[in-house]
Structure 1
Amino acid sequence: MDTSFLVTSIVITATPGSGALFTIAAGLSRGVRAGIVAAVGCTLGVLPHLALALSGAAAVMAANPVLFDVIRWMGVAYLLFMAWGMWSDERGFAADAETQDGSPVPRMSFGRVIRDAVLVNLLNPKLTIFFLVFLPMFVDVEAADGVLRMAGLGAAFMGITFVIFAAYGAGAARVRDFARARPAVNRLLGRGFALTFVVLAVLLAITPR
Structure 2
Amino acid sequence: MIPVDVVILFMSVAIALAAVPGPDNIFVLTQSALYGRMSGLIVTLGLASGLIIHTTAAAFGVAVLFQTSQAAFAMLKYAGAGYLVYLAWKAFTATETRLDSANAPRIATRKLFLRGLIMNIANPKVTIFMLAFLPQFVDPNNGPIIGQFYQLGALMFLATVVVFGAVALAAGTLGGLLRGSPGVQLWLNRISGVIFVALALKLATAER
1:175 aligned counterpart, secondary structure: helix
Give the 5 Å matches for 1:106-121. Answer: 106-121=105-120
Relative to structure 1, the CA distance from residue 91 to residue 13 in structure 2 (aligned partners, 3 Å threshold; closer, same or farther) is farther
Match of 1:201 in 2: 200
* Amino acid corresponding to residue 73 of structure 1 in structure 2: Y
Match of 1:25 in 2: 30
Residue 96 of structure 1: CA displacement? 4.2
Relative to structure 1, the CA distance from residue 95 to residue 29 in structure 2 (aligned partners, 3 Å threshold; closer, same or farther) is farther
1:35 and 2:40 are equivalent in the alignment: yes
1:95 and 2:99 are equivalent in the alignment: yes
Match of 2:166 in 1: 167
Worse-matched range after superposition: 4-13 or 42-51? 4-13
> What is the CA–CA distance in structure 1 between the aligned matches of 2:154 and 2:65, rounded to whole Å?
22
Match of 1:76 in 2: 81
> What is the CA–CA distance in structure 2 between the aligned matches of 1:175 and 1:61, rounded to whole Å?
39
Give the 5 Å matches for 1:51-66. Answer: 51-66=56-71
Match of 2:189 in 1: 190
Residue 97 of structure 1: CA displacement? 6.7
Residue 23 of structure 1: CA displacement? 2.2
Match of 2:50 in 1: 45
Residue 77 of structure 1: CA displacement? 0.4
Residue 30 of structure 1: CA displacement? 3.0
* Amino acid corresponding to residue 51 of structure 2 in structure 1: V
1:148 and 2:158 are equivalent in the alignment: no
Worse-matched range after superposition: 24-33 or 128-137? 24-33
CA RMSD of aligned residues (A): 2.3
Conservation of the 8 A alpha-carbon contact between 2:54 and 2:127: yes
Conservation of the 8 A alpha-carbon contact between 2:96 and 2:183: no
The number of residue pairs the alignment matches comes to: 203
* Amino acid corresponding to residue 120 of structure 1 in structure 2: M
* Amino acid corresponding to residue 95 of structure 1 in structure 2: L
Residue 156 of structure 1: CA displacement? 0.2
Match of 1:101 in 2: none
Conservation of the 8 A alpha-carbon contact between 2:47 and 2:120: yes
Conservation of the 8 A alpha-carbon contact between 2:29 and 2:40: yes
Residue 55 of structure 1: CA displacement? 0.5
* Amino acid corresponding to residue 135 of structure 1 in structure 2: L
Output the TM-score relative to the length of structure 2. Answer: 0.86
Conservation of the 8 A alpha-carbon contact between 1:141 and 1:147: no
Output the TM-score relative to the length of structure 1. Answer: 0.86
Residue 141 of structure 1: CA displacement? 5.9
Conservation of the 8 A alpha-carbon contact between 2:99 and 2:180: no
